[in-house]
Amino acid sequence: MAADRLFPDSRLSPVRVGRATDWVSVAAGAHHTVAIRRDGSLWSWGSNRYGQLGTGTAADRNFPGRVGASYDWAFVDASNRQTVAIKTDGSLWAWGLNHRGQIGDGTTIDRHHPTRIGTDYDWAFVSTYSHTVAIRTDGSLWAWGNNMGGQLGDGTEIDRHAPIRVGTDHDWAMASAGGGQTAAIRTDGSLWTWGNNRNGRLGDDTVGNRHIPARIGDSYDWELVAASVALTAAIRATGDVYTWGEF
């Protein structure tokens, strides 16, 4: 990248964050970062215009700061301008930008504190961008938020402000929310995508949008998939990495 395109405080190599050595997971959004420490505490830093740091304010923070006082955070993901997380009891939480219902609390009101989504205790995995997808412990898949390209997988392009079930299957292993698409893997190792297909980001050899999950290829050895703004990447059991979409 040319020097004149860099932000003033850009770093061109890894920089140590603080002196703590007990971090266990981290997720980076567009302009903020969230992380969990070994004691189950949650920390955040960066841009906070929409409350995505979960501090109760809209003030940016240039260093890690504690989010609340709980010690039971198990998983966290950050996206464009919001954050989602799961506690050890299986409860689901979200905060930040909510203009398309991506928080999932039934409103389009931004949240500056972690907000409980529903009353269930069986959430196992969650991923967010301008929409959110999540998997329950029974293997069912759920989605909410921006649905402009059909990325919620419910057969429509209608935004949803609370979790809705995607199909009736109970064999989803993981899912990833991208800029306008969703990618997921079933327990049998098959790969599925749906949503906005601009520049081939779904990987189905077309550029047409999909409003429901569509199988990609005939392999049963997909282990990991990640959807980004305009491209998707996945890893097979062989260790090979595949990418498709806009480069």
* DSSP line for 67-115: -SS-S-EEEEEE-SSEEEEEETTS-EEEEE--TTSTT-SSS---EEEEE
What's residue 2's pLDDT? 41
Q: How far apart, in whole angstroms, are the C-alpha atoms of residue 195 and residue 126?
A: 18
Long-range contact list for 57-66, CB < 8 A, 24+ apart? 57/112, 58/112, 63/17, 63/18, 64/17, 64/18, 64/35, 66/41, 66/42
Average pLDDT over residues 80-85: 95
Third-level CATH fold of 20-245: Methylamine Dehydrogenase; Chain H (2.130.10)
Q: What is the pLDDT of residue 73?
A: 98
In sequence order, which residues have a C-beta less than 8 Å from that of residue 106 and are 6 or more positions away?
A: 161, 162
pLDDT at 39 (0 to 100): 98
pLDDT tens for residues 116-148? 999 999 999 999 999 999 999 999 999 999 999
How many residues are listed for the chain in this entry? 247
* Rg of the chain over all Cα atoms, to the nearest angstrom: 18
Closest CA to 236 of 184, 174, 189: 189
Q: What percent of the chain has pLDDT over 70?
A: 97
How confident is residue 80, by pLDDT bands cut at 50, 70 and 90? confident
Q: Summarize pLDDT for 196-230 with one digit per residue, the tens.
A: 999 999 999 999 999 999 999 999 999 999 999 99
CA–CA distance, 170 with 185 (Å, rounded to integer)? 12
Band the pLDDT of 7: cuts 50, 70, 90.
Answer: low
Q: What pLDDT is recorded for position 6?
A: 55
Mean pLDDT of the 47-66 span:
97
Residue owning tokens 């898949």: 141
pLDDT digits (tens, 9 = 90+) for 22-39: 999 999 999 999 999 999
pLDDT surpasses 80 at 181:
yes
Q: What is the mean pLDDT of residues 6-14?
A: 78
Residue with tokens 């949503």: 195
pLDDT of 3 over the 80 cut: no
Determine the pLDDT at residue 10: 84
**Taking residues 48-72, what's their average pLDDT?**
97
Q: Can you give the pLDDT at residue 27?
A: 98
- The per-type count for the chain, helices as H runs and strands as E runs, is 0, 19
Q: What angle do CA 89, 53, 111 make, to 5 degrees?
A: 75
Q: Rounded distance, CA 110 to CA 99, Å? A: 7
Residue 87, Ramachandran bin (φ over 0: left; ψ between -120 and 50: alpha; else beta): beta
Pick from 98, 101, 63, 65: which is nearest to 82 by CA?
Answer: 98
Stretch 187-193: mean pLDDT: 98
Predicted confidence at residue 112, as pLDDT, reads 98
Q: How far apart are CA 149 and CA 210, in angstroms?
A: 8
Phi, psi torsion values for 199, nearest 5 degrees? 60, 25
pLDDT category, 114, cuts 50, 70, 90?
Answer: very high
Distance separating the N- and C-terminal Cα atoms of the chain: 15
pLDDT score for 88: 98
Whether pLDDT at 163 is above 90: yes
Q: What is the mean pLDDT of the chain?
A: 96
